[in-house]
Copies of this chain bind each other. A is one copy, B any other.
Amino acid sequence: MNTSAVEKLIRNIKKTGTPIVVGLDPMLSYVPAFIQKKAFEEFGETLEGAGEAIWEFNKGIIDSTADLIPAVKPQIAMYEQFGLPGLAAYKKTVDYCKSKGLVVIGDIKRGDIGSTSAAYAAGHLGTVQVGTHMFAPFDEDFATVNPYLGSDGVVPFLDVCREHGKGIFVLVKTSNPSSGEFQDRVTDGRPVYEWVGEKVAEWGSTLMGDSYSSVGAVVGATYPEMGKILRDIMPNAFILVPGYGAQGGKGKDLVHFFNKDGLGAVVNSSRGIIAAWKQEKYGACGETGYAEASRLAVQDMAADIGEALGNL
């Protein structure tokens, strides 16, 4: 029996003492010129060159922060935009993070129906069979999943998670300004996101670890009051909280996402960590010290969150 994904996540949180997830969402504009130059010298100004540049950039940040953090969340869109070479960089990043003991949350936001969701689940969290051989193509620990298509789209992921000790985070209430257009529509006295939260609790009951489920939820830091209600609806779900830092969320907004045991949530920061070298605050690191800047930013974020959680 595999250790379940949520137990692996909790173990890492306890080891590092902080619930931080670093969002590995590299834009080429975040990648220092010296890294781009080297990659382009080797591969040209090509998709391969872009893939190499973001991979080298990621590697520096991972090496510099891996001992401080429990998990990373690579956003596959930032790799997929560079086609196959970009996706090759995604795969290298996932593998490298796992080799460092980090929990990898693939931010893929996939969701489809029946056999199609089963294919996404197999490719990202499970295995596929070719002839008599089995392969685990992407092999993240968790994936984010879009619930708009209903249970048909989610259940195939649950089946794969159960078999392979993996987990998912279901989009419940996203951090963006227009997330309310459909998610906040009130139906039978409650907004849609609460109904999705109820489903997350139900799906999660079939994938329980000791006290938490490997079925989590995405709830934006930008909506702390909604987070409080969703915390109650899904007491056993880990909440993945995006929107900290660059999107406006702060440590004090996060307390309601956690349970009394200090667990139950992980907080993602992407730009605030990986592009820290571009902030005035970390300017002394310089371009070549971008990885050190990301380490300092992680430490500052851990202090901010630690202070807020001290008030739990």
A contacts, CB < 8 Å to B: 25, 27-28, 36, 40, 45-47, 49-50, 75, 77-78, 80-84, 86-88, 91, 109-117, 119-120, 122-124, 128-133, 135, 137-138, 146-153, 171, 174-183, 185-188, 192, 195-196, 199
Contact = CB atoms under 8 A, between A and B. Distances in A.
B137 A83 contact: yes
B77 A36 contact: no
Contacts of A137: 47, 80-84, 86
A149 B130 contact: no
A81 B128 contact: yes
A137 B114 CA distance: 28
A123 B175 contact: no
Nearest to A83: B137
A148 B150 contact: no
A138 B77 contact: no
Nearest to A116: B77
A49 B133 CA distance: 11
Contacts of A45: 130-133
B77 A120 contact: yes
Contact of A120 (B81, B114, B185): B81
Contacts of A180: 150
A301 to B, nearest CB: 20
A146 B45 CA distance: 32
